[in-house]
Amino acid sequence: MEILAYGVQADERPLLERAFAGRHGLRCLDVFLNRDTAPLAARYAAVSSSVNAVLDAETLAVLADGGTKLIAQRSTGFNNIDLDAAALARMKDDAILVNSSRGGLVDSAALVETLRAGRLSGVGLDVYEEETGVFFTDRSIHGITDDVLARLVTFPQVLVTSHQAYFTHTAVGQIIDATARNIDDFAAGRRNENTLVPTHT
């Protein structure tokens, strides 16, 4: 697959190139994705955007008309995305939605209705906004009591992986390393970039 990455910073470029090497073609741009730069993505099935992208209805329409099927945003924020336009208004019926960053990015009830209308050919969810008590526990006896999640998993084009994207040697190793460093820094009386400090008003 050919991927067009927008808003790529100098430190990101080698990481992106290494991540996709031998698997997907990658073109990196330093301009941010918005309604003016969206035409550059014509004929690219996938684009990757940064938190500085403006994914409003017009930008999404230009991407969809140009053949883009997937927007992979390199951030966990979503305030720059017109979710209604992305889910319903102008994207093509064969679009695929993937969320592996955090729950709450997707209105799951609206997603069910979008799937029922046949407007998505695939959905991959590694997170779910009401996942507390659902993932990381054995539910084989009790079953799923969340009606929206139960409806989602009945669609043949939906895959819910219950945070399995998190369980990689790299991800778990990085979390453990950061945890150990946080404890070491605390014991030594140091603060690091992971220290949460309350703001005073």
Separation of alpha carbons 38 and 103, rounded Å: 27
Separation of alpha carbons 140 and 143, rounded Å: 6
Give the DSSP letter string of 21-36. TTTSEEEE-SSPPSTT
Give the DSSP letter string of 59-72. HHHHHHHTT--EEE
Separation of alpha carbons 60 and 46, rounded Å: 12
Residue type, 144: I
- For 71, 74, 79, 160, the CA distances from 52, given in Å and listed in that order, are 14, 10, 10, 28
Is 102 annotated as catalytic?
yes
The torsion defined by the Cα of 60, 61, 65 and 66, in degrees rounded to 10, comes to: -40
| Annotated active-site residue in 35, 90, 102, 119 | 102
Residue 73 dihedral angles phi and psi, to the nearest 5°: -85, 135
| Annotated active-site residue in 131, 151, 190, 191 | 131
Contacts within 8 Å (CB) and 24+ apart, 165-168: 165/100, 165/126, 166/126
Q: Give the active site residues.
A: 102, 131
